Amino acid sequence: MNETPTFDHYADSYDDDLNHALAATGSGAEYFARNRIAWLARCLSPLGCQPKLGIDYGCGTGSSTPILLSTLGLSEVVGVDVSPRIITRARQEHGASNVRFAAVAEPLAPGIADVAYCNGVFHHIDKAERPAAIEYVHHGLRPGGWFAVWENNPWNPATHYVMSRCTFDKEAQMLSVNEMKTLLRNSGFTIVRSDFLFIFPEFLNLFRPLEPWVSKLPLGGQYQVLARKMP
């Protein structure tokens, strides 16, 4: 998986760079991570899904991985990332007996996971490499396993502004929700649903409870595509 730029260069500054970019929204990275994963839990609950082992694909420094573990009630999470330096930092800061980290270069065992979560990774992957990245996750999921992909919404002007402030997003190539769905279908996934979240910045937080009611409209700063690996 080739990413531009090489994230080893941002291993020490990654969290600060991200929060600097997000400052324009009035909320930090943890707010978005908790709400993304809570939304995923909300989507899985009516489907009768009770996952035990999860993959955090493109885990970065690992700050979201423990949130994934606790919010979904998982027994174990494997965080994977392309950057060896970032994985080293994730192990130091968030490693635990039930939270482990590995480089993408280390192959996952086939069919080990019930659910995979991915946030803001594919816009850093060269277009030609995206199918291989999805295949990596597909390989690690059991038949019937779930893949929740979060990406930045290219139709949202505020998203473009936030990304323009982020040092490691300079060369990013955003993809639309329909492009993401096509990539997933072509790799053997069935699309279950798609949703758009994060419309209102902090100074309009009184309106945030309305977001679930308009999540089908392409307004939010990010979207989730929830897909299932065909049994």
CB neighbours of residue 186 within 10 Å: 12
Q: In this predicted structure, what is the pLDDT of residue 4?
A: 37
Q: In this predicted structure, what is the pLDDT of residue 2?
A: 44
- Average pLDDT per consecutive 10 residues, the chain (231 residues; last block may be shorter): 57 79 90 97 92 96 96 97 93 95 90 97 95 96 97 96 87 95 97 97 95 96 97 83
The DSSP call for residue 156 is: -
Distance of CA 38 to the CA centre of its chain: 13
Alpha-carbon span 226 to 61, nearest angstrom:
24
Enumerate the β-bridge partners of residue 223.
Answer: 151, 196
Instruction: Domain 7-229: give its CATH code.
Output: 3.40.50.150
**The residue to which tokens 């919404």 are assigned:** 153
Q: In this predicted structure, what is the pLDDT of residue 91?
A: 95
Alpha-carbon span 124 to 110, nearest angstrom:
25
Q: In this predicted structure, what is the pLDDT of residue 6?
A: 65
Q: Are strands 141-152 and 222-229 parallel, antiparallel or unpaired?
A: antiparallel
